[in-house]
Amino acid sequence: MKIFTEPKKLQKWCAARRMEGRKVALVPTMGYLHEGHLSLIAEAKRRGAQEIVVSVFVNPVQFGPNEDFDKYPRDEKADLAKCRAAGATAVFFPTPANMYLDAHSVYVNEEDLSKGLCGARRPGHFRGVCTVVAKLFNLVHPHFAVFGQKDFQQAAVIRRMVRDLNFDLDVVVAPIVREPSGLARSSRNTYLSDDERKRACALSQALFAAASAVKAKGKVPWKAERAKIVRRLESAGLVVDYVEAVDGETLAPVKRLEKGVAVLLAVYCGKTRLIDNILIK
Ligand code: PAF
Looking at this protein, which amino acid is placed at residue 174? A
| Catalytic entry in 34, 37, 104, 143 | 37
Q: What is the pLDDT of residue 118?
A: 98
Q: Residue 53: CB within 6 Å of ligand 1?
A: no
Q: Does residue 143 carry a catalytic annotation?
A: no
Mind listing the pLDDT tens digit for each residue in 160-188? 999 999 999 999 999 999 999 999 999 99
Of 79, 108, 133, 139, which is best to mutate to test ligand 1, by the most ligand atoms within 8 angstroms of its C-beta?
133
Based on DSSP, count helices (H) and strands (E) in the chain, helices before strands: 10, 11
Between CA 166 and CA 44 the distance in angstroms is: 22
Domain boundaries, the chain: 2-174, 187-276
Contact predicate 235/209, CB 8 Å: no
For 219, other C-beta atoms within 10 Å of its C-beta total 12
Mind listing the pLDDT tens digit for each residue in 147-158? 999 999 999 999
- Decide: helix, strand or coil at residue 84: helix
Report the C-alpha dihedral over residues 190, 95, 145, 39, rounded to 10 degrees: -30
Q: Residue 30: CB within 6 Å of ligand 1?
A: yes
Confidence of residue 46 (pLDDT cuts 50, 70, 90): very high
Element holding 28 (H helix, E strand)? strand 24-29
Residue 60 burial (10 A CB sphere; 0-12, 13-18, 19+): middle
User: Which CATH code for domain 187-276?
Assistant: 3.30.1300.10
Share of the chain above pLDDT 90, in %: 100
Confidence of residue 227 (pLDDT cuts 50, 70, 90): very high
253 phi and psi angles, rounded to 5 deg: -60, 145
Q: Residue 133: CB within 6 Å of ligand 1?
A: yes
Please count the CA atoms within 13 angstroms of the CA of 259 that sit on its side-chain side: 3
Q: What is the pLDDT of residue 200?
A: 98
Confidence of residue 19 (pLDDT cuts 50, 70, 90): very high
Q: What is the pLDDT of residue 221?
A: 98
- Long-range interactions of 197-202: CB distance < 8 A, separation 24+: 199/236, 199/237, 199/238, 199/269, 200/236, 200/238, 200/269, 200/274, 201/236, 202/232, 202/233, 202/235, 202/236, 202/238
Residue nearest to atom 7 of ligand 1 (CA): 28
DSSP annotation of 66 reads: T
**Mean pLDDT score, 59-70:** 97
Looking at this protein, which amino acid is placed at residue 264? L
**Mean pLDDT score, 192-203:** 98
Residue nearest to atom 9 of ligand 1 (CA): 129
User: Which CATH code for domain 2-174?
Assistant: 3.40.50.620
Q: How far apart are the first and last CA of the chain?
A: 38
Share of the chain above pLDDT 70, in %: 100
- The CA 58 to ligand 1 mean position distance, Å, reads 8
Q: Residue 26: CB within 6 Å of ligand 1?
A: no
Looking at this protein, which amino acid is placed at residue 89? T
Query: In terms of Cα–Cα distance, which of 264, 230, 233, 226 is closest to 247?
Result: 264
Q: What is the pLDDT of residue 14?
A: 98
28 CA: nearest ligand 1 atom: 8
| Mean pLDDT over each residue of the chain, to the nearest integer | 98
For 197, other C-beta atoms within 10 Å of its C-beta total 15
Query: In terms of Cα–Cα distance, which of 111, 177, 105 is closest to 146?
Result: 177
For 184, other C-beta atoms within 10 Å of its C-beta total 21
Between CA 110 and CA 145 the distance in angstroms is: 18
Query: In terms of Cα–Cα distance, which of 96, 104, 107 is closest to 134?
Result: 107
Give this prediction's pTM: 0.98
Q: Residue 204: CB within 6 Å of ligand 1?
A: no
Mind listing the pLDDT tens digit for each residue in 235-270? 999 999 999 999 999 999 999 999 999 999 999 999
**Mean pLDDT score, 12-35:** 98
Looking at this protein, which amino acid is placed at residue 220? V
Q: What is the pLDDT of residue 235?
A: 98
136 CA: nearest ligand 1 atom: 9
